[in-house]
């Protein structure tokens, strides 16, 4: 056992004495020591209840013969950090989470880990730590929030962001907005649509590193607590059998996860996080593979923000297991992969419910013939850009637009809310990538403002930054190389014609090669926006979005 290095032999007498100081018994130190990595805090609604989840995990660990030790990580609420300086720290916190877990686990010699998580960067940060440490691991999330209700209609957080644009346009009063914001988020859990948090929790299930139901069982359901206890018990079985993350999260498992991603219309942020987790295991795949999988995978679900259904609805009709069972009918999944349940995927899907045909469409009658995400390439994005094609209006799938160029999110938001953006234009926001931001902010405020003002079918937004999973419309992000690395976005000028061809997977600016070279020859990059502290260090070593914004 890994823990023997902190508890066995005469030379570890002082360590044992410290365990006894906390009330542990000598008999307990003969058992496996299980780290319960809890991201509970009082600033994220998805995490406000995680102490209850962790207590059930610990009960399960103890019941199955292990000794649980709980410790915490940080967590940032993307919704609260959105639209201001604080969002620069969100993506960068992913590395802090992975590094802090690594530090705690190596220092204290745990034998296994249960990751109690829920929201945007915390889930991938913990998955990266799990992959890096390669100890028996299982993930249990806090579950999705239920949808809210406003004037008889189901709503969620994305609608609140869009309502800001509606107020600016005069389609909603400030009094109505206040009533709306009190109704949209009815309680604990990760925000109710297929945004980044729920996307990543569904990915843990698709990867096999979490038990069935982890991605979709609502936060307030008793089943969530039972799932936590089962996870605590199951980790002891993984310890006994020596099942580690590298045996679960294989190349085939990542392809399965990408296939599920395409079928349920996940956040574009999964294309940042899955490569980062895979990288920790030495698994490489390029963005062309995303298009390959997307082309062969029908989109079966149309969940908020792309459609009217919510994660609670997906759960009600069988959740991720039912989605995977439907995909398996077209031989789109590798069924031989292992899972933390102790069964391979084939065995799990034999007992999974059938797709209902409405929330989860049948493969013979999908919502859309291709997957929810596409990677675009061209002279504006030589190393790729990402779009949630499943949430793009048909009118914007193939267009030519006039560029409006901004060097920060704030500049663009001011122009949008000031009615300075017109139909037929592309809002280009640069110097917001991993290095240039630094931190690659999500830009839900400008995208939702465009949608709220009714421009999402007439205006595109193109950036080296990224978008919230709550974004809909022709929002193209992760443009790589980013402007701060002298990517082509840095030379785009006001009035240039941008060519978007989502079916053709192309993103170009209409310029002759000679003109492009001349502009690069005159290019002068701006000074770094932050010159001290964590983000300054982060900017020096972070990679482009095309590589998952990993630290190099």
322, 361 contact by CB (below 8 A) = no
Structure tokens at 540: 């020096």
- Determine the average pLDDT of the residues in 220-227: 98
Has 468 been annotated as catalytic? yes
Residue 468 confidence (pLDDT)? 80
Residue 472 confidence (pLDDT)? 78
Give Cβ neighbours of residue 284 (< 8 Å, ≥ 6 apart).
Answer: 278
Instruction: Kindly provide the residue ranges of all beta strands, DSSP E only, lying in 142-233, ordered along the sequence.
Output: 148-150, 153-155
Q: Distances from the Cα of 175 to the Cαs of 164, 179, 181, 451, 458, in angstroms?
A: 12, 6, 10, 20, 29
What digits encode the pLDDT tens for the residues 445-455? 888 888 878 88
Residue 61 confidence (pLDDT)? 98
What digits encode the pLDDT tens for the residues 469-524? 767 789 999 999 999 999 999 999 999 999 999 999 999 999 999 999 999 999 99
Which residue among 468, 475, 480, 544 is the active-site one?
468
Residue 184 confidence (pLDDT)? 96
What digits encode the pLDDT tens for the residues 109-148? 999 999 999 999 999 999 999 999 999 999 999 999 999 9
Residue 99 confidence (pLDDT)? 98
Q: Is the bond into 305 cis (omega within 30 degrees of 0)? A: yes
Is the per-residue pLDDT at 376 higher than 90? Answer: yes
Residue 448 confidence (pLDDT)? 80
60, 94 contact by CB (below 8 A) = no
47, 191 contact by CB (below 8 A) = no
Query: Closest Cα partner for 453 from 151, 161, 194?
Result: 161
Confidence at 390, pLDDT banded by 50, 70, 90: confident
Confidence at 29, pLDDT banded by 50, 70, 90: very high
Q: What is the mean pLDDT of the chain?
A: 95
- Determine the average pLDDT of the residues in 257-275: 95
Q: How far apart are CA 178 and CA 172, in angstroms?
A: 10
What digits encode the pLDDT tens for the residues 457-481? 999 999 999 988 767 789 999 999 9
166, 83 contact by CB (below 8 A) = no
Residue 144 confidence (pLDDT)? 98
Least confident interval from 198-207, 235-244, 464-473 = 464-473
Alpha helix ranges (H) inside 64-156: 78-81, 88-108, 122-133
Helix orientation angle between 196-207 and 319-328, rounded to the nearest 10 degrees: 60
Concatenating the DSSP letter of every residue in 475-514 gives: EEE--SS-GGGT-GGGG--TTPEEEEETTTTEEEE---HH
Instruction: Kindly provide the residue ranges of all beta strands, DSSP E only, lying in 337-422, ordered along the sequence.
Output: 374-378, 381-387, 398-406
pTM, 2 dp: 0.95
Residue 384 confidence (pLDDT)? 96
What digits encode the pLDDT tens for the residues 70-116? 999 999 999 999 888 899 999 999 999 999 999 999 999 999 999 99
Residue 387 confidence (pLDDT)? 94
Residue 286 confidence (pLDDT)? 86
- Determine the average pLDDT of the residues in 278-287: 94
Structure tokens at 507: 């993103």
């Amino acid at each position: 056992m890994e823990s023997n290095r902190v508890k066995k032999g005469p030379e570890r007498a002082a360590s044992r004495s410290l365990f006894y100081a906390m009330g542990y018994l000598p008999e307990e130190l003969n058992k496996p020591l299980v780290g319960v990595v809890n991201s509970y805090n009082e600033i994220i609604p998805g995490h406000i209840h995680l102490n209850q989840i962790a207590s059930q995990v610990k009960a399960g660990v103890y019941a199955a013969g292990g000794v649980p030790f709980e410790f915490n990580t940080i967590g940032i609420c993307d919704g609260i950090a959105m639209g201001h300086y604080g969002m620069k720290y969100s993506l960068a916190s992913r590395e802090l989470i992975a590094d802090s877990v690594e530090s705690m686990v190596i220092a204290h010699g745990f034998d296994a880990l249960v990751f109690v998580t829920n929201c945007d960067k915390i889930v991938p940060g913990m998955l990266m730590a799990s992959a890096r440490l390669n100890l028996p691991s299982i993930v249990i999330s806090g579950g999705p929030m239920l949808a809210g209700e406003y004037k008889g209609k189901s709503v969620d957080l994305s609608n609140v962001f869009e309502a800001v644009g509606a107020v600016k346009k005069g389609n909603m009063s400030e009094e109505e907005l206040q009533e709306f914001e009190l109704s949209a988020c009815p309680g604990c859990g990760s925000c109710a649509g297929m945004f980044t948090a729920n996307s990543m929790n569904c990915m843990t299930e698709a990867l096999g590193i979490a038990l069935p139901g982890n991605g979709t069982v609502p936060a307030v359901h008793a089943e969530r607590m039972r799932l936590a206890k089962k996870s605590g018990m199951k980790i002891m079985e993984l310890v006994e059998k020596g099942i580690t993350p590298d045996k679960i999260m294989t190349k085939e498992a990542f392809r399965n996860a990408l296939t599920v991603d395409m079928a349920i219309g996940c956040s574009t942020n999964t294309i940042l996080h899955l490569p980062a987790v895979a990288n920790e295991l030495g698994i490489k795949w390029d963005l062309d593979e995303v298009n390959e999988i997307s082309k062969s995978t029908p989109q079966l679900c149309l969940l908020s923000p792309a459609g009217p259904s919510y994660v609670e609805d997906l759960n009600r009709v069988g959740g991720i297991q039912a989605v995977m069972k439907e995909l398996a009918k077209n031989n789109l999944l590798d069924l031989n992969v292992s899972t933390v349940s102790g069964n391979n995927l084939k065995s799990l899907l034999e007992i999974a419910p059938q797709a209902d045909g409405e929330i989860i469409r049948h493969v013979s009658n999908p919502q859309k013939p291709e997957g929810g995400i596409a990677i675009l390439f061209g002279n504006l994005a030589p190393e790729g850009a990402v779009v949630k094609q499943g949430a793009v209006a048909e009118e914007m799938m193939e267009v030519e637009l006039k560029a409006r160029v901004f060097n920060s999110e704030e500049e663009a938001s001011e122009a949008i809310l000031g009615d300075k953006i017109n139909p037929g234009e592309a809002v280009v926001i640069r110097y917001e990538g991993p290095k240039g931001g630094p931190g690659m902010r999500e830009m839900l405020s400008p995208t939702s403002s465009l949608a709220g003002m009714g421009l999402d079918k007439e205006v595109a937004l193109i950036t080296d930054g990224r978008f919230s999973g709550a974004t809909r419309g022709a929002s193209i992000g992760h443009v790589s190389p980013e402007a701060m690395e002298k990517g082509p976005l840095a030379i785009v000028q006001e009035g240039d014609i941008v060519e978007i061809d989502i079916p053709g997977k192309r993103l170009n600016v209409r310029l002759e090669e000679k003109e492009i070279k001349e502009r690069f020859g005159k290019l002068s990059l701006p000074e770094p926006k932050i010159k001290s502290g964590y983000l300054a260090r982060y900017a020096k070593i972070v990679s482009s979005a095309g590589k998952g914004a990993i630290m190099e």
